[in-house]
Structure 1
Amino acid sequence: MKIHHLGFIVKDMKKDRIIFEALGFVEIGEVVYDFIQDNNIMFLESQDGSLLIELIEAVSERSSVRNFKSGYHHICFESGTKMDMNQWFKALKIGKIFTRQITAPALQNRKVVFACLNNGSLIEFIL
């Protein structure tokens, strides 16, 4: 599987964008409102194009990340296949998928699922 991006929770999209830009990241695209998870999403890319990061800002109390602290949140993989992720996770015994497939407006409406690894790490999979 290929790493697609690293996700970070931010409290203030504008302020945190400035921090990541100082570290050499460049905003790509527009801020997207994810109406399913009630978050604002922004992607930034490293200058050499080797790393994509996602800034996630809660919009309201309905937000999927409203109770998370700022900072690293998840790593996202592109599965590159139409495999059954639930069966794959069960076979590997490395964690559990805890969401149904949801549409990700910031990822061109592709389907994603989230999983929790046995060590507590959150993982997102683009299907």
Structure 2
Amino acid sequence: MKIHHIGYLVHSIEKAQIQFEELGFTNTTNQIHDKFRGINILFMTKDGYTIELISPAIENSVVSNLIKQYKNSPYHICYQSFNIAEDMQALKKNKYIKITEFEPAIALENKKVVFFVHPHLGMIEVIDANA
């Protein structure tokens, strides 16, 4: 699997965007509202690295509890899979637990994504590059 981006949880995309711009990042998307997950998203890049700024848009969004715990911080690495069946089998074998179903992600051109968690690593996201 290839690293696609690092998910960065923030209270305010606008305020975080300014700070990342000061560090030399540039926007690769406009801010996207994911109504299904109740979040706002903005992708930025620098030197070949991509970050995904994620903030809750509603009180009960998929990240509302996480932002209370983590505040402003990175919280997942997203991998792009070119053989999703094989990669999922390897993850399960290595004790990753699937915590979401495969669902289209509006911010990723509706490619299907799934989240896993590992007790020694935390959360990862996997994008099906072929979907």
Structure 2 length-normalised TM: 0.88
Give unmatched runs, 5+ long, in structure 2: none
Match in the other structure for 2:91? 89
Contact 1:7 1:72 in 2 (8 A): yes
Match in the other structure for 2:11? 11
Match in the other structure for 2:64? 66
SS in 2 for 1:89: helix
SS in 2 for 1:61: coil
Match in the other structure for 2:49? 51
Match in the other structure for 1:21? 21
Provide the C-alpha distance between the structure 1 equivalents of 2:43 and 2:19, rounded to a whole number of angstroms. Answer: 14
User: Once the 2 structures are TM-superposed, how far is the Cα of residue 88 of structure 1 from its aligned partner?
Assistant: 2.8
| CA displacement 1:77-116 (0-9 Å, x = unmatched) | 00112315553322223x2111111110000000000000
| 1:57 counterpart letter in structure 2 | S
Query: How many residues are aligned here?
Result: 124
Provide the C-alpha distance between the structure 2 equivalents of 1:85 and 1:102, rounded to a whole number of angstroms. Answer: 17
Provide the C-alpha distance between the structure 2 equivalents of 1:84 and 1:98, rounded to a whole number of angstroms. Answer: 18
Match in the other structure for 1:108? 109
SS in 1 for 2:14: helix
| CA displacement 1:38-92 (0-9 Å, x = unmatched) | 100000000x3x1000000101112100112221110000011231555332222
SS in 2 for 1:67: helix
Provide the C-alpha distance between the structure 1 equivalents of 2:83 and 2:121, rounded to a whole number of angstroms. Answer: 25
Give unmatched runs, 5+ long, in structure 1: none
Structure number having the greater helix percentage = 2
Contact 1:74 1:123 in 2 (8 A): yes
